[in-house]
Amino acid sequence: MTPIRLVHLYPDLMSVYGDRGNVLTLMRRAEWRNIPLVVTELSVGDTLDPSDVDLVFFGGGQDREQSVVSPDFLAQKAAAVCQAVEDGAAVLSVCGGYQLLGASYTTVDGQELPGGGLFDVRSVPGPRRHIGNVLVETTLGGQPRTLIGFENHSGRTYLGTDVRPLGRVVVGAGNNGEDGTEGAVYRGAIGCYLHGSLLPKNPWLADRLLTQALAHRLGEPVTLEPLDDTLEEDAHTAVATRIRAPRGRVRSGAW
């Protein structure tokens, strides 16, 4: 079988709060199914070929790193990611990567900069930093599920009309701490503020991304072989229960 081609954008600059664990999870869950997967790391100065990618991961970073990444990303990679998504590829972007894939983002000094334009969202600085556990209810894929993660951001992201939220925040701030939304979804692309890392805690989402990527690679719908996720699901349920509890609402740190 021809390998799934996963591109990890700016792993040296945009990979905080366990974000690299998302790539490791995708690799391992593909390996367990004997699905070959090749990871290519691209950073400043590299070129992204939209015809040579099935899945893109774009993690988060500090403001300084994001300012370094932004001009390089907008020069070529942003358009390539958008083209890949229109062609059926999958994307997972977290925090800074999510913001950079929006229509625009405003710096802390008030300068509004263009984003990659994949998501119809805009991000602006907020008056406080949101730090803590997050529980999200989502119907992504048509089935009610929960997502758990950890947020650490002061940016506020607002959705436009051409994008839908990833889910509804039960605990946490989500996109902006105001409208109850978390993340954004456009075609096979997902943006969110969920660090932690996200995919080990939510294996069904990892499988959704792999399914999308493999279908793109093969040019036809696919169904992944189920894995025994008993331990992962038990851990997810335990953490979700803890977050729902009153003390889980104290926004002082991760589990």
What pLDDT score does 208 carry? 98
Summarised one tens digit per residue, pLDDT across range 105-135 is 888 888 888 999 999 999 999 999 999 999 9
Give me 186's structure tokens: 């456009």
Q: What pLDDT sits at residue 247?
A: 54
**Per-residue pLDDT tens for 47-95?**
999 999 999 999 998 878 888 999 999 999 999 999 999 999 999 999 9
Task: For 11-34, write each residue's pLDDT tens digit.
Answer: 999 988 889 999 999 999 999 999
Catalytic residues: 95, 195
Domains located in the chain, CATH noted = 4-249 (3.40.50.880)
Would the CA dihedral through 152, 155, 156, 157 be positive or negative? negative
- Cα pseudo-dihedral 170, 131, 209, 40, rounded to 10: 180
pTM for the structure as a whole: 0.94
Query: Is 90 exceeded by the pLDDT of residue 35?
Result: yes
Q: What is the model's pLDDT at position 79? A: 98
